[in-house]
Amino acid sequence: MENTLVDLAQALRERLGVIRDEQSRRDEAKHIARLRAVSEKIDRLHAALPQLIDPRLAHYLQRKSYDKALELLERQITVNTARR
């Protein structure tokens, strides 16, 4: 599951990158396609998570509160990495 969480965090970061990409916005169709692709990736990773995940993460992902989901994941990943 940890790999899926890391992949999910990366996909959420990628989404933020697309949103912030001023050059990408100049070609609206391409920009929307990039957003759609990364959103579908996030949905696939979310679906791959076990049923019993942090309830806050589940809530954020269901509500598409991706900034909050990323913040929570980054904290969890940092804590898990520090424990090793």
Task: Determine the average pLDDT of the residues in 23-34.
Answer: 94
What is the CA 71 to chain-centroid distance, rounded? 10
Query: Domain containing 16: what range?
Result: 2-83
Helix segments in the chain, DSSP class H: 2-20, 22-25, 28-48, 55-62, 66-83
Q: What is the pLDDT of residues 32-70, one digit of tens each?
A: 999 999 999 999 999 999 888 999 999 999 999 999 999
Q: What percent of the chain has pLDDT over 90?
A: 79
- For the chain, what is the mean pLDDT? 92
* Count of domains for the chain: 1
Burial of 49 by CB count in 10 Å (0-12 exposed, 13-18 middle, 19+ buried)? middle
Cβ-based neighbours of 53, under 8 Å, separated by 6 or more:
1
pTM for the predicted model, two decimal places: 0.88
CA distance 81 to 13: 19
